[in-house]
Each structure stands twice: as C-alpha cells, then as structure tokens.
Amino acid sequence: MSLDYVEAFFLKDGQNELHLQTEDKIAKYKLYWTEDLDRYTKNKHFLLESEQKKLKFEFNYNSQKVNYFIIEWPKQDPILFGYRILPLAGMYNFRDIGGYLTEDGRRIKWGVGYRSDFLTNLRPAGEDFFKSLKIKSIIDYRSPSEIAADPNPVIDPKIKNFQFDPEADTAREAGKLQSMKATQSLKERAQQALAQGQTGIQKMINQQLAFVTSPNSHLAFAKSLKIIGNAQNLPSMQHCRGGKDRTGFALMLLEGLLGVPKQTLIYDYLLTERARAEKNQRYYQYFLKETNDEQLAGYLYSLYDTRAEFIEASIDKIITNYGSFSNYAIEVLKLQAKDLQNLKTNFLED
C-alpha cells in the first residue's frame, strides 16, 4: 500500500478530520495520539480503529503544546503525522509540510518545516503553542516597508530572523488585500489593468513566472534554501503576509527539490484556500462594497484567490526550461550538489 500522505485537520467543538491520500485499498488501522515526535513511542493513546480513508473523529487538542498522531497497521511500520494546519490562536495559515511522499519513496519529516501567514496575527494565547514547536529560524519574504508597518513580535529572542525580499510587487499587493485594505491606489491600478484588457488571474500567473526568472527572486530563494540546508537552523518557519504567493513559491521549490510530485505540490499550495475558507466570501463582499463594481471586485479577489494555475505556471516553467528542480537550483540559484543533499538529509525521513 502506497500512501501519498496522512494528515489531520482540526474543525470545531472537538471535531477533527483524518485524511489518508492513496489510490490503494487500505486495511484496518489503529489511530493514536501522542505528544512525542516519534512514530515508535510507547507514550501514545488509542483513539479509534477504522478502514476509512477520510473520517471525522473527536479529540480535544492541546492549545498549549503541539500534538501528533500515529497510525498503525499489522506488520507495517507505523506512520507519524500531525495537524496540517496548526491551531495557533490568531493564525489561520500556519502549516506543517511534513508527511508528503517523494518520488523515491521517502517522506518529509513532521516538525521540521513550517509555512505561515505573518506572525503579527499571533495572539498571546498562541505563544506557548508556538514555543512548543522549538523553531530556531524564521524566514520573512516581506518587503522592508511591510516589515516596518507590521513587525513580527519577538516570541523567543533565541530565534534567528532572516529577511529575504524577492521584490514581488503583485504578491505585495495581494498581501495588502489579505488585510482587507483595498487602497485607492490599488483600486486605480486595478481599473487601469482592466481598461488594458488584463485580468487578475494572468497577473498572478505572471508573478509566479517572475519568481522563476527574476534575479531578486533568485537571490532571496537561494539564500533561504542555504539557511534551511543548515540543520542548526531547524525547525524553520517561512512566511510572507498571507502565506500564499511568496511563501507558496518558496515551499513549492523546497518540496520539488525534495522530490515531491507535481500533484502534491499543487495540493499543498491550494491548502491556503482551505485555511481561509471562512474568509473567502467575506473578502469578495468587502471588495464589492469598496468598489461598487462587480468586475473590479472580481479583479481584486483574483489577486487574493488561490488557484492551481498560479503555482502550476511556475512548476511548468522550471521543468520545461531546466528539466528538473535540481537543475534549476544548480544552474540558476547557483546552489551546489552538497546543498541539495543537505536539504534531503534535513527534511526527509531515513
């Protein structure tokens, strides 16, 4: 049996969702929860037994400390996994990239790589949970002006902070919309774009393509890969404002270098849509109210939106132009083969 990934999502009122992604038929399994980041731990607590690939179950997660789950089948190694979107108070898109199966049959470790919206959203009630992740470095892709306006709180002075700006104008505009700030200048630029026959969807696709080709992006993302290639900087969290565009490209690039297949890269990117599901309709209504124009509201919403074709454009450009993620990293980002091996050593299970 081949599992692309196993993950959990917290819902409401003690309800949770279990998701096993596989094309194969699965045998009966046992599900446990644990506080240990160890699939062989004896410190585990039984939750249920099932043969379903997707189900809801009751479990009250610890709001002060990260929990994990273990799934077991007879005569197979257990699989450890966790919440895909972590329940940090105030944060809506804080995610663990663990568990994804690579094309060579290995799996990304849980509790090593995180992606998120900006930490300004974190409420005091979520600080203990954040500290339990034992994060050692934070990589911020926002521009200097964005950081000056909304600096990250200092949760632990021991955490190393890195700021690598890919100078992504469209992503920065989209980030402003995440805070429901459709400024007059942004609305005017949207009107100009529509008058020229441009669409917000194409603008976001162009932004993803620019990440692949822009020298500023090359510098920013090469530096970030070097940082997380050093085990002393792990676990690490990467973020921009909403965790969709700049962070989305960065994590797609990392996962691609680790060998995660295209369909899973797209799935991981699209999880931002799930993470802010409750916000989506509210945002469109806000844009409509601000502009009193359905076409203009639709344009603004498309900058905020999460679509497969956005990230797929950058994936396809890398593969078409360079043949592989590894070739792109070596030829364009100027990484060395040892840098790529360091990433695999740090992020993949043995």
pLDDT for 165-177, tens place per residue? 998 877 766 666 6
Q: What does the pLDDT average to over 223-228?
A: 99
What is the predicted pLDDT for the residue at 176? 62
Instruction: Give, as one character, the DSSP assignment of residue 95.
Output: E
Q: What does the pLDDT average to over 266-282?
A: 90
162: left (phi over 0), alpha (psi -120 to 50) or beta: beta
Q: Does domain 1-83 have CATH number 2.60.40.10?
A: yes
Contact 164, 146 (CB under 8 A): no
Going by pLDDT thresholds of 50, 70 and 90, the confidence category of residue 330 is very high
What is the predicted pLDDT for the residue at 169? 77
What is the predicted pLDDT for the residue at 295? 86
Going by pLDDT thresholds of 50, 70 and 90, the confidence category of residue 95 is very high
28-37, 53-62, 98-107, 281-290: segment of lowest average pLDDT: 281-290
**Angstrom distances, CA of residue 115 to CA of 9, 206, 228, 240:** 16, 22, 13, 9
Q: Pull the structure tokens for residue 324.
A: 């592989």
Task: Give 109-347's CATH code, choosing from 3.90.190.10, 3.30.450.90, 3.30.310.50, 3.30.470.20.
Answer: 3.90.190.10
Q: In the chain, which residues fall in CATH 3.90.190.10?
A: 109-347
For the segment 155-208, what is each residue's pLDDT rounded down to a tens digit? 999 999 999 999 887 776 666 665 545 556 667 777 887 888 778 899 999 999
What is the predicted pLDDT for the residue at 185? 66
What is the predicted pLDDT for the residue at 132? 97
User: Chain-wide mean pLDDT for the chain?
Assistant: 93
Peptide bond before 166: cis, by omega within 30 degrees of 0? no
Q: In the chain, which residues fall in CATH 2.60.40.10?
A: 1-83
Q: Which residues contact 243 (CB under 8 A, 6 or more apart)?
A: 93, 94, 95, 115, 116, 117, 118, 272, 275
What is the predicted pLDDT for the residue at 284? 81
Quickly count: other Cβ atoms within 10 Å of residue 93's Cβ: 22
For the segment 36-69, what is each residue's pLDDT rounded down to a tens digit? 999 999 999 999 999 999 999 999 999 999 999 9
Query: How many residues are present in the chain?
Result: 350
Q: Sort 265 into a burial class: Cβ within 10 Å, 0-12 / 13-18 / 19+.
A: buried
